[in-house]
Amino acid sequence: MPDFRSDTVTQPTPAMREAMFKAPLGDDVFADDPSVNALQEHAAQLLGFEAALFAPSGTQTNLIALWGHCQRGDEAIVGQSWHTYRWEAGGMAVLGSIQPQPVETQPDGTLRVADITAAIKPDDPHFARTRLVVLENTTGGQVLPPAYIAEVAQLARSRGLAMHLDGARLFNAATANAARHGTDVYDEARTLCSHFDSVSLCLSKGLGAPVGSLVLGSAAFIRQARRTRKILGGGMRQAGVLAAAGHYALQHHVRRLADDHAHLNQLAQGLQEMGSSHPALQGRITVQPWQTNILFTDIHPDIAPAFTAWLAQHQVRVTSGLYAGQTRLRWVTHLDVSQADVQSALDCVARFALPG
């Protein structure tokens, strides 16, 4: 059975492994690993930035960017549920001495512009200096509307604030926009990035590389980012073996993200149908709205233990947690989940019956 826990569980494809095996190597701390340099140059050109830096993880590239925009005691406006605030161990405060100013995330994944405006501090020594607005796209699989991003960027510029994008799944957002507008996914990605001073892009989620993320920005910003990466212990030596995988992913795994979205749609529709007709699930499973490759389903407490045990017994792997008194399951489609895998999972769910 497939693994729906996350798009981080993908394995390198044979072609990606071949690219890794053949990668020319140097010492990236001396900036002379040709494969790392090629990845960084390709990514920067692809997304419309002057430069890029390869690092081990998205947590690190986000922190590098935050540190680049903010000094000790400065403040970054973030979403209450953003990774940069909730899921990265408080790194901006613990290591960067940056004060996070969380703003409530709306059901559609946005932050209300009025809330962002209200969070910006006046120039007064009583307050931390607001320096940065952070957005996340996608967030929980939801795509921030391009017009909304432009509006937030305009606000930030008018108040002298920088903009950072946690674009771990940037290309999933671009894929959804391209499908909606009938445009090219790479063009959509560049357009999304055009509103930001820096972007963090994960290569090991939907793009399927085994390790690594990129931080992108101006040449001066990335020079400082290299120093920050060293402070954080992110300098790697013959890192080209990993960079080659990320380079291959950017070239060959972006357009296929549309397949992941199609498979998620197949899964969501199947679960939704069973929620209205399956004897054991009727009225007990709620399928939340979906847009890309991430789906949340809420399971009523009276069947949640049996249902989650059934999935585990049949090796349908999902993540779960409590949300508003119900068990919320997260399903993520990715490179290693096929249409047949989705159908197998739906068949397994269809066989579920309450004990007794």
What is the tens place of the pLDDT at every residue in 293-349? Answer: 999 999 999 999 999 999 999 999 999 998 888 999 999 999 999 999 999 999 999
Sequence ranges of the chain with CATH classification 3.40.640.10 = 14-252
Q: Quick one: 257-350 is in which CATH superfamily?
A: Aspartate Aminotransferase, domain 1 (3.90.1150.10)
Identify any residues that bridge with 100 across adjacent strands, giving them in sequence order: 76
Let me know if 246 is exposed, middle or buried by CB neighbors in 10 A (0-12, 13-18, 19+).
buried
What is the tens place of the pLDDT at every residue in 198-231? Answer: 999 999 999 999 999 999 999 999 999 999 999 9
What is the tens place of the pLDDT at every residue in 8-34? Answer: 999 999 999 999 999 999 999 999 999
What is the pLDDT, as a whole number, of residue 33?
98
Identify any residues that bridge with 214 across adjacent strands, giving them in sequence order: 54, 201
Cis peptide before 327 (omega within 30 of 0): no
Residue-wise DSSP of 35-66 = HHHHHHHHHHHHHT-SEEEEES-HHHHHHHHH
Sequence ranges of the chain with CATH classification 3.90.1150.10 = 257-350
**53 confidence band (pLDDT: 50, 70, 90):** very high
**235 confidence band (pLDDT: 50, 70, 90):** very high
Closest CA to 345 of 356, 325, 329: 329
14-252 to CATH, choices 3.40.630.10, 3.30.70.100, 3.40.50.2300, 3.40.640.10: 3.40.640.10
What is the tens place of the pLDDT at every residue in 246-283? Answer: 999 999 999 999 999 999 999 999 999 999 999 999 99
